[in-house]
Chains A and B, each alone.
Chain A
């Protein structure tokens, strides 16, 4: 069935390090792909999205490219900051006859140390 798989955490990086969080998906149609971020004690916030193959979503220095050939949507940032410490969720949205179906990965916890 349709699903999202993202890399297990937790991930700990030093400030200014390069970040990659892997996300792959399985989908029967043409999904939209999302990255959400959850800071401690808060709900999920949309970080970036891509709606079709080869689209690149970007926001706050984060980027992810929709790769249909590898069914991936890996999140990257060139230089992380302490304030990026949070849990990151990869998600997909598929249109069905009952509206959009959303599927979330299990989340990857990121801690950035000074």
Chain B
């Protein structure tokens, strides 16, 4: 089975721009979660999507949004980028039933200049 894939792997943007990141979960997995990882804050939960619906949300501003498609692929969008948005964005998928293990993708490294 192919693992979780994320595109692009690296991205450079400037302040004020917007960016869209993509995540393809493991086949058969219906839940996709997004995390932001920075050296100072560690791993912070952004949101989780299950069957095209946002099921959980972390404590991030409205500039961060996401969606999930019928094939379970998910996109994350960040508008009006700030320098502090520079981070590794990780996507994780799991089948969706309780107590399931999350499987992570390699991440997208975003640098905001």
User: Does B bind A?
Assistant: yes
User: Which A residues fall within an 8 A CB radius of B?
Assistant: 32, 34, 36, 41-46, 49, 51, 89, 93, 95, 98-102, 104-107
A41–B56 Cα gap in the complex (Å)? Answer: 27
Interface 1/0 per residue, B72-106 and A, CB below 8 Å: 00000000000000000010101010111111111
A-B contact pairs, 22 of them (CB 8 A): A32-B99, A34-B101, A36-B104, A41-B106, A43-B6, A43-B90, A43-B106, A44-B43, A45-B104, A89-B43, A93-B99, A98-B55, A98-B56, A99-B31, A99-B48, A99-B50, A99-B55, A100-B94, A101-B56, A102-B33, A104-B43, A107-B42
A49 touches B101 (CB 8 A): yes
Judge if B107 is at the interface, Cβ distance under 8 Å.
yes
Closest CB of chain A to B28's CB: distance in Å? 17
A32 CB contacts on chain B under 8 angstroms:
99
In the complex, A34→B103 CA distance in Å? 12
Q: Please report B residues at the A interface, Cβ cutoff 8 Å.
A: 4, 6, 31, 33, 35, 42-43, 45, 48, 50, 55-56, 90, 92, 94, 96, 98-107
B104 touches A95 (CB 8 A): no
Q: Which residues of A contact B92 (CB under 8 A)?
A: 44
Distance between A29 CB and nearest chain B CB, rounded to angstroms: 11
A51 surroundings in chain B (CB, below 8 A):
99
CB pair A46–B99 under 8 Å, yes or no, is no
A104 CA to B96 CA, complexed, in Å: 19
Most chain B C-beta atoms within 10 Å of own C-beta, residue among A44, A95, A98: A44
Contact A106-B42, Cβ < 8 Å, known A95-B99, A99-B48? yes
A41 to B43, CA, bound (A): 15
Chain B residues positioned under 8 Å from A89 (CB to CB): 43
CB contact under 8 A between A99 and B99, given known A43-B106, A107-B43: no
